[in-house]
Amino acid sequence: MSKPVVVITGASQGIGAAIARVFAREVRGVRLALVARNEQNLAVVARGAAKLLSGRGAAVATFGCDVSDEASVATMAAAVSKRFGGVDVLINNAGKFEASTLTEMSVAQFDRLIGANLRSVFLVSKAFVPGMAARGRGDVFNMSSIAGLDAYPGGAGYCAAKFGVTGLSKVMRAELKTKGVRVCCVYPGATWSPSWSGSGVAKERMMPAEDVARAFLDVYRLTRKTVVEEIVLRPQLGDL
């Protein structure tokens, strides 16, 4: 598609920032709407993307937003629409990790994880998907996790949220497949980002964020006759 509008949530670091760089570098005329709460980091990512876009008829803009908050999402969506018009690609990448067992987890902690990882996908999709369906074309990528396929001790809130993303993605696929909107759920294993700093896990055991980002681009570039419903990505050297 010529000059697609691509919305990326959680774009201030890690996989989201890598997706922004990959699309900026390889999709001619792309218009990037970068969304995150940390507007300072988001501005840094946007400047890097802008350098890659220079002279290629493309654009990048940032939108501060708490994607777990309904009013914040509505304000962001209106701003994106005013700046770029209709959205062609939605990448629901925003998320949050906190480890805790069921018996130790507080209700507030559980609600934070559900909000950041699952409610955010619902709210942002509600904001942009109807426009895609009305135009008969679009791509939605929902970021789940290996934790959305295999549960583990200490993942009470995070696994519950990511399993929810898996289920919501399946529903979206079933409802949107006749409307020209492709839905892909992505399940990455351990991917290096600042959030892993201090974890004790060696960087060499993880996937680079750029590899995960390229998977999004490759799926997007397939003809409209094909949809990749799910992608599972794991580090070659481990089962993280």
The CA-based angle 93-97-101, given to 5 degrees, is: 145
DSSP one-letter string for 175-188: HHGGGTEEEEEEEE
Look up 158 and say whether it is catalytic: yes
Structure tokens at 15: 């996989």
Q: Which of 152, 158, 187, 220 is catalytic?
A: 158
Packed helices 70-84 and 120-135: angle between N→C axes, nearest 10 degrees: 30
The DSSP 8-state label assigned to residue 119 in this structure reads I
| Two tokens, residue 85 | 């018009």
* Strand 59-64 relative to strand 230-233, pairing: unpaired
Measured CA to CA, the distance from residue 214 to residue 232 in angstroms comes to 13
- State the catalytic residues: 158
